[in-house]
Structure 1
Amino acid sequence: MKNNTEAQKRQVADVVAERIERLIIDNVLKAGQSLPSERRLTEKFGVSRSAVREGLKLLRARGLIETSQGKGSIVANLMARPMQAPMMHLLSSQPRALYDLLEVRELLEGESARLAAQRGTKADFILITRRYEELVAAHGQETSALALARLDHAFHLAICEASHNPVLVHTLNSLNDLLLSSVFASVNNLYHRKAQKQQIDRQHARLFNAVIGQLPDQAHKAAVNHIRSVRANLKEIEQEEQRLVRATLRLDGWD
């Protein structure tokens, strides 16, 4: 009888762990986010507190959560990012690395937009609308380039989350700092140029309307065209600067 009781406890703990894992993979619980208290989990799952504790123990053993005294449990960073420090250096020193990253964004975000338009729920569209409206509202205010970049990135990330493809979402999350750096490059170099800024605003509007309107092909096209346009504009700015340097050297007699 005791063995049966222990087996049942393990089964319930497995169920608790599985349900929390599902929340993590669906990005409902994000890296660094605190889990609800044991009491709240007990109420939500309809199990005993001991079952919740055992379930959390399983998640800790799997490296999915981290627990500290007095602070409770948080979702662990599931994607190790040791490469990002050197990559961030390359992005700041080698323009080609930025263009390569924009190429990756084109592939991932194009598919994200298509899936979001296909699979997005009413709740997803509410969140995407909020992020879009926050981005639009910030343009009429005195907002730093970094703050605008974060709002811009949040809009694109909300679309990705609406794809309901956990692997795609976690892949983009693992590249979060790198992706934000590419958005910052766009904001910092293009937003103060009136023509390019208006172009980006129109592209964001097309992307938003296509996803909310549940038009997969148009959403994919809008996302891809947006990233390609950003890359082309950044390359043009780089070439402008190179022409200016060459002309200045000739003027100074270095040719």
Structure 2
Amino acid sequence: MEENERLKPSTTPQAIASRLENLILDGVFRPGQLLPSERRLCERLGVARSSLREALGTLRSKGVIITRQGRGSEVAPLVEAPYVTPLMHLFREHPRTLYDLLEVRALLEGESASLAANRGTPSDRVLITRRYREMADYVEKAGSIDVERLARLDHAFHLAICQASHNPVLMHTLSSLTDLLLSSVFASVKHLYHRPDSRDMINRQHARLHRAVVEGKAQLARRVALEHLSAISEQLREIDAEGQRLERAAMRLEEW
């Protein structure tokens, strides 16, 4: 057998299904995203349409993809929506869990920043920079800040860093918590961004995090990510404490 034949990827239906699963795990095809047409997939993968169709059938039987008449195949949700469970309801309805969530974000995002700095490809760095610029440009040019929009831009920046970690488990764990993570970003933007000192701090930390990751400085990237989330948690706690002090002082003035 010649060398180029040994290196050629297998084109059996099982091998094609495995290649597609890897593309899904790596986030090339994301949950809810339509797969390219069969013709396009055949061209990109260099396989026969009959083998591709059999591979797609295998993925359908596993529940990895969903095919709808007249629409094509899309990647199925990889994790059952956690936000509909009673536990997720309690998390969302009780603000005190926000600090627990920020601790979890620090653990996950600190490590993902370090891994992204070590493993990120040139394409990853382009996407991270694009997401950072979208967020930074909006902050710079917006007359008044739309809290929800900025929260989504902020979350997209951190998610791009996580994707550059090239750790599918880490990436899909964070993706499965999107609603909860967005709620923590929304809280930090809503309560901190109107304060000039807090706004400047957040902007500086985002700039430092972006620079550390794209420059491949893993230890610095982890440290900046941890400092970012620790500072947000500390300032939110101080706002809570201030609110409680004001409430107690007002109650002392009331007649009981």
- The answer to whether the superposition gives a TM-score over 0.5 is yes
Deviations 1:91-135 (A, max 9, x none): 454232111110000000000000011111111111110111111
Q: What amino acid sits opposite 1:146 in the alignment?
A: E
Alignment of 1:102-251 (within 5 A): 102-140=102-140, 141=142, 142-251=144-253
Instruction: Tell me the amino acid that sits aligned with residue 139 of structure 1.
Output: V
Q: How big is the shift at 1:218?
A: 0.4
Aligned-pair distance for 1:252?
Answer: 1.4
Cα separation, partners in 2 of 1:87 and 1:202, compared to 1, 3 Å: farther
What per-residue deviation string (whole Å, max 9, x for no partner) do you get for residues 52-72 of structure 1? 111100000111000000000
Q: Distance in 1 between matches of 2:181 and 2:13?
A: 37
**CA deviation after TM superposition for structure 1 residue 45, in Å:** 1.9
| Aligned CA-pair RMSD | 1.5
Match of 1:253 among 235, 252, 255: 255
2:209 aligns to what SS in structure 1?
A: helix
Matches within 5 A, 1:24-173: 24-84=24-84, 86-87=86-87, 89-140=89-140, 141=142, 142-173=144-175
- CA deviations over 1:25-83 (Å, ceiling 9, x no partner): 00010000000111111222222211111110000011100000000000000011244
TM-score, structure 2 as length reference: 0.92
**Contiguous gaps of at least 5 residues in structure 2:** 1-9
* Structure 2 CA distance for aligned equivalents of residues 92 and 75 of structure 1: 27
- Between the aligned residues of both structures, percent identity stands at 56
Q: Structure 2: which amino acid aligns with 1:170?
A: H
Residue 248 of structure 1 aligns to which amino acid in structure 2? Answer: A
* Aligned AA (1:160): C
- CA distance in 2 between counterparts of 1:20 and 1:12 reads 12
Say how many residue pairs are matched: 245
8 A contact 2:152–2:182 mirrored in 1: yes
Letter in 1 for 2:45: F
